[in-house]
Structure 1
Amino acid sequence: MEFGIVELSRLQFALTAMYHFLFVPLTLGLSVVIAIMETVYVMTNRPIWRQMTKFWGTLFGINFVLGVATGITMEFQFGMNWSYFSHYVGDIFGAPLALEGLMAFFMEATFVGLFFFGWDKLSKVGHLIVTWLVAIGSNFSALWILIANGWMQNPVGAEFNPMTMRMELTDFYEVMFNSVAQAKFVHTVSAGYVTAAVFVLGVSAWYLLKNRHIELARRSITVAAAFGLASAFSVVLLGDESGYDATLNQKMKLAAIEGMWETEPAPAPFTVFGFPDQEARETHFAIHVPYVMGLIGTRSLTTEIPGIAQLVDEGENRIRSGLIAYDALMHIREARQTADPAELARFEAHSDDLGFAFLLRKYLDDPREASDEQIRMAAEDTVPRVWPLFWAFRIMVGLGFGFIATMIYFFYLASFKGMRFPRPALHLAVWMIPAPWIAAEMGWIVAEFGRQPWTVDGVLPTAMSVSALSITEVALTLAGFILFYTVLFVVEVSLMLKYIRKGPVQDVEETEAWFATHYDRLGGRRESAALATPAE
């Protein structure tokens, strides 16, 4: 594929977004895990739980700082590489981003500082409140980002102003409670919880294999297994909601995920395995499970899921409708303040399809001059690349069910087998640490790659959204970001491994005070050695 401005800009944003998303899930999940651990500490007053909170909190802090660094640089790209996108939809897209900074990021950053430096300055309950506010702030941050992203997937609460040539916000409540945004939020947050649970499980398993920090590792596995089990089930259930929402709002994405070239009789089957061939419009060696896709996608036995071919035909009709809107818009722009009411009425009647006419800008400057062949080519462009979506979705789902099985097994061992974990299971937990990140990145590919050729679905094509830059300028910034993010990646991994190898630091004074209080009840010096075990 020949790389131009659009392709290089997409590649740059994809690389930086996917790298940033390495930090987001762990931040979301660990913030809640450490809040749970500190809650147990405040309730029981046992030093081991404070030690656990501090240890996992240190790893959270490393991840949080580097996540902030990568997130800030990523947002610069809206002005650098996607200036027309920012101009065209900035009134809507910018509002939740601003709220994310004001309500979530500042709140989260403030309380992160209090979490680390307030242990000896705040009461136990006061510090616990701070820790929960860190967790709430982290999740608030994700909420506003996903509201912005959800609007790009399903642009509601806004309309195009022919006088300003921009999209304008009409109903912030509708943007905020967009069904796509809400489904994406709960699904993404649950995936973050699973990521943290697998991370805590794997690191704790490594300690047990090394016979280090035994009590901390066992308790951490217990928390991770219970928390991870609930989260893993939530991911699957909430992912089903996202699939149903795609049936209503993003039919082409759903058809591409399934490699469904033709409309199937209801209820449609689910393709477990196959090799999509976009040129032949066929999925080779497909293995189908009857009825499943129809039930998941429509929650009925009678509703059809349209195939790619039908959706391309619908796209062609919408392009022709959009051309009417485009022609009326040009007449309105020429007339300016004295626009013909008939032209305004004509524009309003077809304005929902204006974005489809913009797809023709890839082929010629004035869409009204497009031939039938060019209109058909633009309609074919509404089909994203099928095989990456097909396989990314199946890898994500397969890993999701793997997480459920793993968490059930460890929860059973922790709850009913006295926290005795076989060594093969511990090795499995260690090797599984990268798996939730793979699943999260696959989910990102499904969500974002599946929206192509749109930056804002049905409103603004990707090819129109880029800045007026040269290939050299984009290539240089791409190289700069790759270098910068590579350095950050090395720093992240080095710091994480350093503090994992170092392990938790014992709070000696509090441990001695706790032991002095409980000495007689625990049975004298026989317990003192056991008490020292967790901190080593």
Structure 2
Amino acid sequence: MDVLMLSRLQFAMATMFHFIFVPLTLGLSILVAIMETMYVRTKKDIYLRMTKFWGKLFVINFVLGIVTGITLEFQFGTNWSRYSEYVGDIFGSLLAVEATVAFFLESTFLAAWIFGWKKLSPKMHAVSIWIVAIASNISAIWIILANGWMQNPVGYAMRNGRAELENFTEVISNSFAWGQFFHNAFGAFVVAGFFIMGISAYHLLRKNEVEFFNKSFKMGLIAAFIFSILVAAQGHNHAQDVAVKQPAKLAAMESLWDTAEHGAPMYLLTMPDEKNETNKIEFLGIPGGLSFLAFNSFDAPVKGLKEWPKEERPPVTVTFLSFRLMVGLGTLFPLLCIWGWVNRKKLVDNPLYLRIMLLSIPLPYIAMWAGWAVAEVGRQPWIVYGMMKTTDAVSPIATSQVAFSFIALTTLYTLLGAAELFLLAKFARKGPEPEKA
């Protein structure tokens, strides 16, 4: 493998691993803040115990997420220096705001929350976790604004052979980036909801702390159901933005090879054949379905992949299958939530459902990974859409250097992943602290 492929694999591995921690941080922080607010308002001990139990799992996830995020950003200098030189004036400014404002805010107040149980008043302690939750989501905004600029570059001017910031307001109001943010933020609540439901299901199967985990399950259920609907609706809106701004990605998502001038069909079952530029299977087509979903018109034309040279097409199979996986799981989530809502008053009497929810903990993570695969793989061959190709962005370094860092980071992340699973499993199985006598 050459430097480019190794750098791609290393960044993909680091990004996907880091993203294990991100959505749970964003969603669970808000839910823990709600639990503590309920304690402050009602003074009921059960909400304090819920805050401490789920808060402990949140802290474990948060700390390990920080470590993987720091090593991830270093790669822009080590593996992608030409990219950093070309667009660093814009990309770097967004990451700098995230680091100097949001990251330090959330880290500072998380420390106050962890060590301030006996030093802060209940209200100020609850304020601390709210600041952590809000700052974590603000941090995500700035990072996704940076990624959104790569997807839809705006507010720049070309000077001296590089992109320089021209209009900061245009960059931070990039509609494509905000579509990405809300799609991810809504998905984060689904991750957190299923995380809470899955762990609660584990204890309910054992009839351990039934009242505690019934309340926890219902909170996760409500969050997961509401946001599984919102993420689907917002995802549709974002896909329409993709259709306008990244038409090649849309064609890859649907494996559409030939341009449809008077309405593109949507097939419920398709199997791409990239080598022969066709589909092996096209089953149950809905006339004009893709045109309607993309442009709200059954007759709208949709460009096929053959409109672009082969070297400017995204990898079709990966993009297509990732999109289908994301949509399929996204359809499953509200159905599981409805099943849970119907049985919410007798959860302990439904062991089959509880086992399914325990096993479903990884599914929202997989859906979000698939979504990011669509976003990033579907953007190829561009690292900055329409401006800079990924082949031109890699650092001029030796293959052996990237191979060494790839092996080293893979080893490090494997150890961190094992530590995460061990600690989360240990404290999740242990359950909450006993009630006060």
Partner of 2:290: 293
Question: Which amino acid is 1:243 matched to?
Answer: A
Alignment pair present for 1:308 and 2:238: no
Q: What percentage of residue pairs aligned between the two structures are identical?
A: 42
The one-character-per-residue Cα deviations of 1:167-220 (angstroms, maximum 9, x if unpaired) are 001111111011110000000011111001001000000000112121111000
Partner of 1:106: 104
1:403 counterpart (321, 328, 333): 333
CA distance in 2, matches of 1:122, 1:411: 37
Alignment pair present for 1:423 and 2:419: no
Partner of 2:422: 494
Partner of 1:263: 259
Q: How does 1:186-225 map to 2 (within 5 A)?
A: 186-225=182-221
Any idea what SS the aligned residue of 1:381 has? helix
Q: How does 1:16-415 map to 2 (within 5 A)?
A: 16-161=14-159, 164-287=160-283, 288-310=285-307, 312=308, 379-414=309-344
Any idea what SS the aligned residue of 1:276 has? strand
Q: 1:421 to 1:71 in 2, by over 3 A?
A: farther
CA distance in 2, matches of 1:475, 1:122: 49
Preserved CA contact (<8 Å) 1:202 1:430 = yes
CA distance in 1, matches of 2:435, 2:26: 26
The structure that has the greater radius of gyration is 1
Any idea what SS the aligned residue of 1:247 has? helix
Q: Where does the alignment leave 5 or more consecutive residues of structure 2 unmatched? A: none
CA distance in 2, matches of 1:121, 1:291: 63
CA distance in 1, matches of 2:427, 2:343: 27
Q: Where does the alignment leave 5 or more consecutive residues of structure 1 unmatched? A: 313-378, 513-536
Any idea what SS the aligned residue of 1:159 has? strand
Q: 1:450 to 1:200 in 2, by over 3 A?
A: same
Preserved CA contact (<8 Å) 1:262 1:308 = yes
Question: Which amino acid is 1:67 matched to?
Answer: G
1:439 counterpart (353, 364, 367): 367
The one-character-per-residue Cα deviations of 1:105-146 (angstroms, maximum 9, x if unpaired) are 111111111121112222222111111111101101110000
Question: Which amino acid is 1:128 matched to?
Answer: A
Preserved CA contact (<8 Å) 2:272 2:281 = no
Displacement after TM superposition at 1:241 (Å): 1.4
Alignment pair present for 1:458 and 2:386: yes
Preserved CA contact (<8 Å) 1:413 1:420 = no
Preserved CA contact (<8 Å) 2:271 2:279 = yes
The one-character-per-residue Cα deviations of 1:355-409 (angstroms, maximum 9, x if unpaired) are xxxxxxxxxxxxxxxxxxxxxxxx3211111011111101111101111111122
Any idea what SS the aligned residue of 2:343 has? helix
The one-character-per-residue Cα deviations of 1:448-491 (angstroms, maximum 9, x if unpaired) are 01111111001011011011111111101100101110110111
Displacement after TM superposition at 1:420 (Å): 5.3
Divergent runs of 4+, >3 A: 417-421
Question: Which amino acid is 1:260 matched to?
Answer: L
CA distance in 1, matches of 2:139, 2:373: 21
The one-character-per-residue Cα deviations of 1:299-337 (angstroms, maximum 9, x if unpaired) are 223321111112x1xxxxxxxxxxxxxxxxxxxxxxxxx
CA distance in 2, matches of 1:418, 1:273: 38
Preserved CA contact (<8 Å) 1:389 1:450 = yes
Preserved CA contact (<8 Å) 2:28 2:189 = yes
Any idea what SS the aligned residue of 1:168 has? strand
Preserved CA contact (<8 Å) 1:9 1:466 = yes
CA distance in 2, matches of 1:87, 1:388: 30
Any idea what SS the aligned residue of 2:279 has? strand
The one-character-per-residue Cα deviations of 1:270-325 (angstroms, maximum 9, x if unpaired) are 23222101121111111223333212211223321111112x1xxxxxxxxxxxxx
2:397 counterpart (448, 469, 487): 469
Any idea what SS the aligned residue of 2:312 has? coil
CA distance in 1, matches of 2:348, 2:206: 15
Preserved CA contact (<8 Å) 2:228 2:333 = yes
TM-score, normalised relative to structure 2: 0.97
Preserved CA contact (<8 Å) 2:292 2:300 = no
CA distance in 2, matches of 1:44, 1:486: 43
Question: Which amino acid is 1:200 matched to?
Answer: I
CA distance in 2, matches of 1:75, 1:139: 18
Q: Number of residues paired by the alignment? A: 436
Question: Which amino acid is 2:305 matched to?
Answer: I
CA distance in 1, matches of 2:390, 2:105: 34
What root-mean-square deviation, in Å, do the aligned CA atoms of Structure 1 and Structure 2 show? 1.2
CA distance in 2, matches of 1:460, 1:421: 57
Displacement after TM superposition at 1:424 (Å): 0.6
Q: 1:421 to 1:39 in 2, by over 3 A?
A: farther
The one-character-per-residue Cα deviations of 1:70-94 (angstroms, maximum 9, x if unpaired) are 0000000000000000000000101
Displacement after TM superposition at 1:421 (Å): 4.8
Question: Which amino acid is 2:282 matched to?
Answer: A
CA distance in 2, matches of 1:421, 1:453: 52
